[in-house]
């Protein structure tokens, strides 16, 4: 990748760091060139507030998009192809911001709360464009059950749904287990209610019908807002009386109904053993306000419900089925919750808190070296606001600039690193496959521990290769008085959205 005037300008090393000096790198030069050409107005971070709401992508997003495009064109790419792919991908990701109608939907929503978009979310516009909907996809009917009505001459309820990112709406045949939530005048499923759906099937428009529709799904979660009086009264009156410690075997035998309100602590898969065969299982650990924990198990087709949950959210369970948990050898006396035939689920989503992060001298110097208005950039790009995860770590996946080794500190997650491999070895004392890789850039070196789940390897990656890794989290290790930072990444077959590593030799 070269310009008409020669190679792209190199990234200047961090002065006075004492670390190995980063030589001229054509790849980094093209990244800087692409950002300056496509997104020149990247020095207004202080005015924008949160990085994820900015009009320009983060440095790591641009790098990942370039590498993905190179993989998509194995025979070779030109700078023009890369620049157009980056620009189109960013426009596609942010296109809902240009819709006046969607901006009107967003305004009241931002006043209420902020929450992260679910990983498997599809938009209603994309359903119409592709004429396809995967059963595992999530539909976030976000602030818009537009209308609920009975089909003329039938007793079938329909919901008209919209979402934050689409200009179209779509009708859903409501599953009969939710009819009682719309039949009364004070029903919960009414205009303005937010819901999450999964397990949906698409009914394509037939001759004379003219409209796509969603077939009924029993996997529906109703969102509540504790700041709204109506929702707060529902939670207080129905779900705050029972606790996990109040479950007794006698109550279970007498088919007593329980109503729980608890925080989602973890979500994980369970391997099937013995008579369970290949049946899929998901285990969700819930903790109530008394500190008691219980397992909420999903079986078979129910596991897709877990796509609608996120760690840190508050889950309200209306009449869950109570059973004895199965262990590896058979039954046990431990009680667990299951998604029964009459169970209703309500969710208060995790509110993503934010924290201001000041740009380091490293960031200021490198950002200034690639900008024609160095002084102006340094005066304005003084800090950004980044979200916190439920554990209180700062999520750097939307960080606008490149992260360097010297910038790392404890409680960082979503880190992307670019550097050369100076050491690589497998930790033999660990039962799982754990590779320790030392990555060095212009400001220093760091040890990244890559935890592989299953039979994974690093293939041809060796000392001297240049790598780019994203999805790392940073932990502090204190042997004696020496403080070092260990980067952790757990890699499984389901974590493709978190892990990309490319050899750039």
| Tens digit of pLDDT at every position of the chain (505 positions) | 444 334 444 333 333 333 344 557 888 989 998 988 888 765 444 444 444 445 678 899 899 889 888 888 888 888 888 988 888 888 766 654 444 444 454 544 554 456 677 888 898 989 988 888 998 899 988 545 666 677 777 788 888 888 877 888 888 999 999 988 886 556 888 878 889 999 999 988 765 456 788 999 999 999 998 888 989 999 999 998 899 988 888 888 888 889 999 999 999 887 665 555 678 889 999 999 999 999 999 999 999 999 999 888 999 999 999 987 655 444 456 889 999 999 999 999 887 778 888 777 666 665 544 443 344 444 455 678 888 877 778 888 888 889 998 888 888 888 889 999 999 888 777 767 788 889 999 888 888 888 776 666 666 788 888 889 888 888 766 544 444 555 666 554 434 333 444 444 4
Pairing of the two strands 331-338 and 321-326: antiparallel
Q: How far is CA 146 from the centre of its chain?
A: 26
| Runs of H (alpha helix) within 227-360 | 229-234, 249-253
Encode 250-265: b = buried (16+ Cβ within 10 Å), e = exposed.
eeeeeeeebbbbbbbe
What residues contact 242, with CB distance under 8 A and at least 6 apart? 258, 259, 260
This prediction has a pTM of: 0.61
Q: How far is CA 294 from the centre of its chain?
A: 25
Measured distance CA(400)–CA(414) in Å, rounded:
12
The token duo for 455 is 């039979």
Encode 44-76: b = buried (16+ Cβ within 10 Å), e = exposed.
ebeebebbbebebbbbbbbbbbbbebbeeeeee
φ, ψ dihedrals at 162, nearest 5°: -135, 175
Radius of gyration in angstroms for the set of CA atoms belonging to the chain, rounded to a whole number = 26
Measured distance CA(392)–CA(129) in Å, rounded:
39
Query: Would you tell me how many other CB atoms lie within 10 Å of the CB of residue 32?
Result: 23
Q: How far is CA 164 from the centre of its chain?
A: 17
Q: Structural domains in the chain?
A: 26-92+370-503 (2.40.50.140), 115-222 (2.40.50.140), 229-348 (2.40.50.140)
Measured distance CA(230)–CA(154) in Å, rounded:
31
Under a CB-based contact definition with an 8 Å cutoff, are residues 353 and 393 in contact? Answer: no
3-state class of 418 per DSSP? strand
Measured distance CA(353)–CA(87) in Å, rounded:
30
**Among 386, 491, 336, which Cα is nearest to 54's?**
386
The token duo for 356 is 């201001």
DSSP state letter for 238 = I
Measured distance CA(405)–CA(427) in Å, rounded:
22
- Strand order in 213-214's β-sheet? 145-150, 157-161, 170-173, 213-214, 202-203
Query: Would you tell me how many other CB atoms lie within 10 Å of the CB of residue 421?
Result: 19
């Amino acid at each position: 990748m070269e310009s008409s005037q020669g190679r792209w300008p190199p990234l200047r090393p961090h002065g006075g760091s004492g670390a190995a000096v980063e030589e001229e790198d054509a790849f980094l030069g093209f990244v800087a060139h692409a950002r300056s050409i496509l997104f020149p107005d990247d020095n207004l971070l202080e005015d924008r507030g949160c990085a994820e709401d900015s009009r320009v992508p983060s440095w790591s997003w641009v790098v990942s998009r370039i590498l993905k495009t190179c993989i998509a064109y194995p025979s070779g790419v030109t700078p023009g192809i890369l620049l157009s792919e980056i620009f189109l991908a960013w426009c596609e990701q942010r296109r809902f911001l240009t819709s006046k109608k969607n901006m009107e939907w967003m305004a009241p929503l931002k006043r209420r709360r902020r929450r992260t978009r679910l990983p498997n979310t599809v938009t209603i516009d994309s359903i119409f464009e592709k004429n396809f909907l995967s059963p595992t996809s999530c539909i976030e009917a976000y602030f818009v059950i537009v209308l609920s009505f009975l089909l003329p001459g039938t007793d079938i309820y329909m919901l008209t749904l919209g979402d934050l990112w689409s200009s179209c709406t779509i009708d859903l045949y409501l599953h009969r287990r939710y009819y009682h939530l719309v039949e009364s005048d004070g029903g919960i499923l009414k205009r303005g209610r937010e819901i999450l759906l999964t397990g949906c099937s698409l009914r394509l428009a037939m001759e004379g019908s003219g409209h796509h529709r969603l077939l009924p799904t029993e996997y529906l979660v109703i969102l509540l807002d504790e700041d709204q009086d109506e929702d707060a009264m529902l939670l207080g009156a129905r779900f705050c009386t029972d606790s996990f410690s109040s479950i007794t075997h006698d109550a279970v035998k007498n088919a007593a109904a329980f109503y729980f309100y608890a925080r989602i602590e973890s979500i994980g898969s369970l391997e099937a053993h013995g008579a369970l065969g290949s049946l899929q299982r998901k285990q969700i650990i819930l903790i109530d306000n008394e500190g008691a924990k219980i397992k909420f198990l999903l079986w078979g087709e129910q596991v897709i419900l877990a796509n609608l949950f996120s760690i840190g959210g508050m889950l309200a369970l209306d009449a869950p089925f109570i059973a004895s948990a199965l262990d590896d050898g058979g039954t046990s006396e431990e009680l667990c919750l299951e998604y029964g035939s009459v169970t209703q689920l309500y969710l208060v989503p995790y509110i993503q808190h934010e924290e201001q992060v000041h740009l380091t001298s490293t960031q200021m110097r490198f950002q200034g070296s690639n900008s024609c208005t160095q002084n102006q950039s340094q005066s304005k790009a003084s800090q950004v606001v980044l979200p916190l995860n439920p554990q209180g770590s700062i999520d750097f996946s939307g960080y606008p600039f490149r992260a360097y080794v010297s910038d790392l500190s404890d409680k960082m997650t979503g880190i992307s690193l670019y550097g050369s491999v100076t050491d690589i070895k497998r930790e033999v004392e660990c039962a799982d496959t754990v590779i320790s890789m030392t990555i060095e850039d212009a400001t220093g070196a760091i040890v990244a521990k890559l935890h592989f789940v299953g039979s994974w390897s690093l293939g041809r990656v060796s000392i001297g290769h240049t790598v780019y890794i994203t999805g790392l989290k940073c932990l502090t290790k204190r042997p004696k008085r020496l403080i070092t930072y260990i980067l952790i990444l757990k890699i499984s077959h389901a974590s493709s959205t978190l892990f990309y590593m490319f050899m750039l030799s």
